Structures are given as structure tokens and as C-alpha cells.
């Protein structure tokens, strides 16, 4: 179990020195209430960890915790409220996970496995299906202050790797000078990472610049951008295995350009794109609801142990 994590034991078990066991005095403490309290202290417990290679906490750290103890009925009431709030946020998270699984299943149903092509679709080199070029960031050093702080969004591999399919935010901008040594890619471009994080993808929600560790793909008439994105997602493992290992994993533009790409009828691709766009619209609402549920749970947890709930 990770440092500071808490779980209720449902069956008899033996534990080693890396775990601490608490036996609840049932006449004064509700087990579920104490569980919720300790969960609320996970970050604090983790911060008290000590050790060079493997961090741990001593029993003193736990015994020094001041546990607020209202009456048993009140403890049970608070634990029940937190259980319900936690169930709501778990359902929100699960909805997001199911949406992603649904899209992967729809892709397989419509097109088959992108690695083995069991439906026998014709293929074409990816470089012949759209404008496929590396980003630009020619100036050295790349951290030159004059490059940044202007009106032009600038993203990097981490922004693509963590975007959940759509690049909708950015934290850096280029100045006019930065733009001069780069290129502004338009909204709707498919970004593909080729260094560090291999084969992660994200469709741009705004015009932006990016460095040569990211490749931009603008499809022509034979393919839709959502189809190519999910096809690439399906072969990401193959791309990772093909990546050379120098200072860090990377693939080059030639490898991407030469990929044999399944080419099902465009009408089928268009149908898939419509499904993706509809699901992503729903996911946007799910994410908002999930954030609200997380905020609600944090607020209720804080109030529960401050005696104001």
C-alpha cells in the first residue's frame, strides 16, 4: 500500500512492518467515521514520511493525530454523508472511463484491430493522406526569455500527452519573435508526440505553435482527423517499440510518414467522427460534473471534521 493510504480490512490478514493496524474501540469510535477521518489526513501522513530510498511513517505519527470525536450517532451520520458524496464522485469518474472504453469499442467494431487489419481494408502511407510535418522551434537557446510572453499559444509534448484527446488549454505563449522562428498550426490539427511520450495524440482546439518533438497532421480528403487519431492510438504500442533509445525515446517523421494506414470508406470514418464528437461533448459535461463532485466532497470532508456539517 502506498504511503499514507488507508483501507478497511474485511477479512483476517497478517501484516508486515510496512503496515499499521488500528483496532477500533467500538463503544466510542465508529469504524467508518475513523476511516473517513484518516483518509482526509492522507496528504498529511504522506508529508511526514521519512527515508532515503523508501519513505515510511512511524507509529508516533499516527498516535499523535487528534481525532475529533462527536457522539457515536453523530459519527455515523457524518460517515454516511461522506459515503454518499464519495459514491457520487466515483460514479462521475466511472462515466468518464466508460466513455473512453466505448469509443475504443466503436472503433474496433467499425474498423477492426488497427494493428492486424482483420477486415482487410486497403492501406496507404500516412504521409500521403495529409500534411504531416514536425513543429518548429529553431532558436537556441530554447529558453530565451524574448521568445515568450506574447499573444501566440505554445504547447509541448506534455500538453499533448495529458490532453485527453483534445488540446483545449495552454500555459505558455510565444511573442512575435517566438512566432518568427516557429510555425502557427491551425485549430483542428492532429498533434502527435514523437519524443519522450511516443505516439500520444491531441486535436487542437485553437491555433498554436509547438516544437519539433511534436508532429502536426492535417488530413486531406481521404481520411477524417478523428479516425486517424484513434487509429494511431490503437498502434501506439507498436510505435513505442519502434522508438529508438538514445538520451530518450523518439521516432522520426520518416517512420510516421511510412506507416501503412488502414483506409476504410470515408463515409464510415465520418460516422465514427460524428460519434467521437458527440461523446466528447458529453465528456465535457461529465468533467464539469466530476469537478463539482470532487469540490463538494472536499468541502463536506473538511466540514465534517471541523464540527460544522
pLDDT of residue 27: 82
* Cα separations in angstroms, 41 against 38, 61, 65, 306: 5, 11, 9, 13
pLDDT digits (tens, 9 = 90+) for 178-202: 999 999 999 999 999 998 789 999 9
- What's the rounded mean pLDDT across residues 73-88? 94
Give residue 1's pLDDT band: very low, low, confident or very high (50, 70, 90).
very low
- Return the closest-CA partner of residue 24 out of 41, 5, 6, 43: 6
Q: Three-class SS string for the chain?
A: CCCCCCCCCCCCCCCCCCCCCCCCCCCCCCHHHHHHHHHHCHHHHHHCCECCCCCECCHHHHHCCCCCCCCHHHHHHHHHHHHHHHHHHHHHHHHHHHHHHHHHHHHHHHHCCCCCCCCCCCEEEHHHCEEEEECCCCCCCCCCHHHEEEEEEECCHHHHHCCCEEECCCCEEECHHHHHCCCCECCCCEEEEEECEEEEEEEECCCEECCCCEEEEEECCCCCHHHHHHHHHHCHHHHHHHCEECCCEECCHHHHHCCEEECCCHHHHHHHHHHHHHHHHHHHHHHHHHHHHHHHHHHHHHHHCCCCC
- Return the closest-CA partner of residue 5 out of 57, 53, 50, 75: 57
Domain ranges of the chain: 1-69, 73-118+278-309, 122-263
At residue 52, does pLDDT exceed 90? no
Q: What are phi and psi of 162, to 5 degrees?
A: -105, 15
The Cα–Cα gap between 114 and 132 comes to 20
Which grid coordinates are listed for 150? 506574447
- Give exposure, 79-99, as e/b (b: 16+ Cβ within 10 Å): bebbeebbebbeebeebbeee
Which percentage of the chain shows pLDDT scores above 70?
89
Q: What are phi and psi of 301, to 5 degrees?
A: -65, -45
Which grid coordinates are listed for 258? 511510412
Topology annotation, domain 122-263: Adenine-n6-DNA-methyltransferase TaqI; Chain A, domain 2 (3.90.220)
The answer, as to whether pTM is greater than 0.85, is no
pLDDT digits (tens, 9 = 90+) for 203-225: 999 999 999 999 999 999 999 99
Give residue 42's pLDDT band: very low, low, confident or very high (50, 70, 90).
confident
To which residue does cell 510518414 refer? 257
To which residue does cell 511526514 refer? 48
Amino acid at each position: 500500500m502506498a504511503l499514507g493510504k488507508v483501507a478497511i480490512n474485511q477479512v483476517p490478514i497478517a501484516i508486515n512492518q510496512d503496515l499499521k493496524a488500528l483496532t477500533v474501540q467500538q463503544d466510542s469510535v465508529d469504524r467508518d467515521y475513523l476511516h473517513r477521518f484518516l483518509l482526509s489526513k492522507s496528504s498529511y501522513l504522506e508529508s511526514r514520511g521519512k527515508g532515503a530510498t523508501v519513505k515510511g511513517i512511524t507509529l508516533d505519527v499516527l498516535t499523535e493525530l487528534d481525532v475529533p470525536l462527536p457522539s457515536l450517532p453523530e459519527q455515523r451520520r457524518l460517515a454516511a454523508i461522506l459515503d454518499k458524496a464519495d459514491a457520487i464522485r466515483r460514479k462521475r469518474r466511472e462515466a468518464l472511463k466508460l466513455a473512453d472504453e466505448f469509443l475504443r469499442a466503436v472503433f474496433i467494431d467499425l474498423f477492426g484491430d488497427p494493428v492486424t487489419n482483420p477486415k482487410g481494408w486497403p492501406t496507404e502511407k500516412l504521409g500521403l493522406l495529409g500534411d504531416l510535418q514536425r513543429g518548429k522551434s529553431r532558436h537556441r537557446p530554447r529558453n530565451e526569455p524574448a521568445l515568450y510572453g506574447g499573444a501566440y499559444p505554445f504547447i509541448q509534448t506534455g500538453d499533448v500527452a495529458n490532453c485527453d484527446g483534445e488540446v483545449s488549454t495552454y500555459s505558455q505563449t510565444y511573442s512575435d519573435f517566438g512566432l518568427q522562428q516557429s510555425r502557427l498550426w491551425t485549430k483542428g490539427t492532429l498533434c502527435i508526440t514523437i519524443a519522450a511520450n511516443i505516439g500520444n495524440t491531441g486535436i487542437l482546439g485553437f491555433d498554436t505553435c509547438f516544437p519539433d518533438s511534436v508532429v502536426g497532421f492535417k488530413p486531406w480528403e481521404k481520411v477524417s482527423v478523428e479516425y486517424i487519431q484513434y487509429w494511431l492510438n490503437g498502434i501506439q504500442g507498436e510505435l513505442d517499440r519502434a522508438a529508438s533509445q538514445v538520451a530518450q525515446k523518439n521516432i522520426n517523421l520518416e517512420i510516421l510518414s511510412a506507416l501503412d494506414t488502414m483506409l476504410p470508406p470515408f463515409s464510415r470514418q465520418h460516422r465514427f467522427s460524428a460519434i467521437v464528437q458527440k461523446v466528447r461533448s458529453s465528456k465535457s459535461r461529465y468533467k464539469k460534473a466530476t469537478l463539482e463532485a470532487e469540490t463538494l466532497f472536499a468541502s463536506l470532508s473538511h466540514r465534517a471534521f471541523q464540527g460544522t456539517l
